[in-house]
Amino acid sequence: PGDRRLGKVVTIAKSKKFRDNHGKVLLEGHRLIKDALEAGAVPQTLFFSTVGHLKELPEAEIKRASLIKVKFEDIKIWSDLVTPQGLLGIFSKPDHAKMSYPAAQLTNSLPLLLICDNIRDPGNLGTILRSAAGAGCEKVLITKGCVDPWEPKVLRAGMGAHFRLPIVTNLEWESVPSNLPAGTQVCVADNKDPGAPAKTTSVPRGAGRAGSAPGNTKAPVKSRPEAAPDHEDEEEAAADIPELATQCYYEDWARTPVAVVIGGETHGLSADALHLAASTGGKRLVIPVVPGVDSLNAAIAAAIVLFEGKRQLLRRHKEDDRQKVP
């Protein structure tokens, strides 16, 4: 139905296989497309229903793209928005190393990083990225097993966060340490009661052992799981899960630089995440909830822990400044 050119391009661009093979992403709406252009993303094709839609975009940037006028009704057919805006764009998949992020974002950036582990819900990941940008995170690392951050639903929920801070995607756990600043302490977020014994059976075994940061030694591991697993390989995996010091998220933990791992609700934290945290002397940060209440979803947990990390880092920065004053 509708304009065949638009339909074909949009259908293909919504496919992860196409995004991976051709390095292109679909963006929709004035705000998102403008943010992308201002950050240096390269437009290839812009579909618009009226010339007025183009006037709100940087003229020099849109001249680099093929401009195709289509009927608003056709855009409405293919739009993912409840209220379509009459503007769609196909962009080269942004390379974080080549992007120019907003000055306000860079000025307020903190030595606080986020690592996403098994985040598979698009809405959650988009909201998490938005929280990371709002908290002033320096960088976001997304490991294999997470949903593609360039999927339309993630972009919608992210509200422009993709173009405000570096997002490194599709990382194997072995390569995570090399993407962290030297001396980074990695902590993991958890919702369990800090007084409860650590469970190991609920944590799936990762694809491989996470690498340790330079200068760190191997952390101690649990020798006995909480419950006897059904299979030998599960028993070995459970026995190899590290012990982490556990504390409430509002207690002191954010020291420069620090990274927080957020796990998905279904699969939880991977063994790789726990090994990386242990290898850097990291902690398990607990968000206590009232007994009987289900644990918070990943997006809410991320926001709580990241903004607490921001508060602690800013407080420490002010204390350091006061000590420098004679």
pTM for the predicted model, two decimal places: 0.83
Can you give the pLDDT at residue 79? 85
Query: Which tens digits make up the pLDDT trace of 120-159?
Result: 999 999 999 999 999 999 999 999 999 999 999 999 999 9
103-319 classified as CATH 3.40.50.300 = no
Chain mean position to CA 36: 17
Query: How far is Cα 277 from Cα 272, in angstroms, rounded to an integer?
Result: 9
- The superfamily CATH assigns to domain 4-98 is Ribosomal protein L30/S12 (3.30.1330.30)
Domain ranges of the chain: 4-98, 103-319
Can you give the pLDDT at residue 48? 94
CB within 8 A of 49, min separation 6: which ones? 69, 70, 71, 72, 75, 86, 87
